[in-house]
Amino acid sequence: MPTFNEAGHIEDLIHATVNAIRHTGIQKIEVIVVDDNSPDKTWEIASNTTCEAADIRVIRRMKDHGLTASLKEGISSASHDIIIWFDCDFTHPPECIPQLLFMISQGFEVVVNSRYIIGGGEDRRGKGSFIQLILSKSLNWGIRFFLYPTFSDYTSGFIAVQREVLKAIPLRGDYGEYFIDFIFRVLSKKYRVCELPYMAMPRRSGESKTGSNILHYLKRGKKYIYTVIRLRFEKLFGLL
């Protein structure tokens, strides 16, 4: 769980996540909260949260902040063979975790919850939500055109991965572009990947890290476009 200023709901999210996984019959549950030294003390609330039959650990990062760096530290600290990560603001509903785990149990190595396949969608409410919806759909359409059109949600960030895949394909990037990079590389390497539908929900509390106006999205989009171009060249010259 990569966090920054999620104090308003981190305790509820931890409990909801553990309960969702427990309903699958899994007994050994590990929750790792990786926090970028949040001013609202998300790390402190998470440290004081307990759940029956779950090992909850908190990593408070004092430097090298950022989404991808946080994910990489959490992954390296995990002790289980199946690793799941998602946005920690309830936009990614914990009740959608069991379907990820089920498909992993069926032999898939990478399973992604997708907004853009039949049955999926987005409940966009609040400031900047309409802009975010339009730009997100447009961005994914463009990425699909230049990369693999059979994959629908290149900016999902709601995923389950077998550890061996992450050893072979480590995360690269800074923010959301890491997901585009990772998905393209696992597809190029012919790993068994599948997408499942889910409904993205409004943020429970706090402010979006992506931003809420068109300038923020365009700034992020530049990195995404650069990543797509780089990946095309890497594949063309056998550098993936």
Round to whole Å and give the CA distance between 162 and 152: 21
**Residue-level pLDDT at 24:** 96
Q: What is the DSSP string of 12-56?
A: HHHHHHHHHHHTTT---EEEEEEE---TT-HHHHHHT---TTEEE
**Residue-level pLDDT at 212:** 53
Round to whole Å and give the CA distance between 117 and 183: 16
pLDDT by residue for the chain (240 residues), tens digit each? 999 999 999 999 999 999 999 999 998 999 999 999 999 999 999 999 999 889 999 999 999 999 999 999 999 999 999 999 999 999 999 999 999 999 999 999 999 999 999 999 998 665 556 777 788 888 899 999 999 999 999 999 999 999 999 999 999 999 999 999 999 999 999 999 999 999 999 888 766 655 555 666 667 778 999 999 999 999 999 999
Neighbours of 53 (CB within 10 A): 11
Sequence-distant (6+) residues with CB within 8 A of 78 are 30, 32, 163
Give the domain range for residue 134.
2-236
CATH number for the domain spanning 201: value is 3.90.550.10
By the 10 Å C-beta count (0-12 exposed, 13-18 middle, 19+ buried), 125 is classed as exposed
**Residue-level pLDDT at 125:** 67
Closest CA to 1 of 70, 81, 96, 103: 70
**Residue-level pLDDT at 39:** 98
Q: What total of structural domains would you count in the chain?
A: 1
